Amino acid sequence: MYALHRMPALTVAGAVVIPQTAGAPRLSIVALFTNLGNDPEQQYVADGITEDLTTDLSRLENMLVISRNTAFTYRKKPIDTKQIGRELSVRYVLQGSVRRSGNQVRVNVQLIDAATDAHLWAERFERGMDDEVTSQLANALGVELIAVEATRPTGHPDAIDYILRGARRITEAPYP
């Protein structure tokens, strides 16, 4: 796990960096999912996706993931992405919604840059309750985070920048 006080500050050429999130680790995220179903008893579906996705994302190398318990404190509050980024010192907020109808679940998800509140990626997943929607979502998000970080401009490329660029090329290469 990262010690936040040891992380170097990153400079981004040509971009305004909000000082409160400037110290956020390159790969740092919190997952926040809400229940859009008509039945408030179905909140457990959104909570389960938040928990499973937090677990899956924490398996990604060099990824700092905020715990589900901390994420749950934002559950019933209006989401101000920049404020959440500052309060939790994360670079990304993964927000989404969950709707369940019978044995089907629809998950809409957006990857947001916490410093700028810009949408970087969005996807919709519709699956049966038996399918592994969170692992599919975590895999797609992992690839997207590598792509976003690999293209993030830096004043002085460092070792992690080269590693992320290499990982991006590997994920984009066609398999024989």
Q: Structural domains in the chain?
A: 20-172 (3.40.50.10610)
Picking from 122, 127, 114, 140, the residue whose alpha carbon sits closest to that of residue 53 is 140
Q: Which amino acid is at 55?
A: T
| CA end-to-end distance (rounded Å), the chain | 36
CB count within 10 Å of CB 138 equals 22
| pTM score of the predicted model | 0.67
Q: How confident is the model at residue 160 (pLDDT cuts 50, 70, 90)?
A: low
Q: Are 108 and 84 in contact (CB under 8 A)?
A: no
Q: What is the mean pLDDT of the chain?
A: 75
For the segment 89-100, the average pLDDT, to the nearest whole number, is: 92
Output the six-digit token pair for 53.
Answer: 């996705």
> What distances in angstroms separate CA 55 from CA 43, 45, 65, one per listed residue?
18, 15, 9
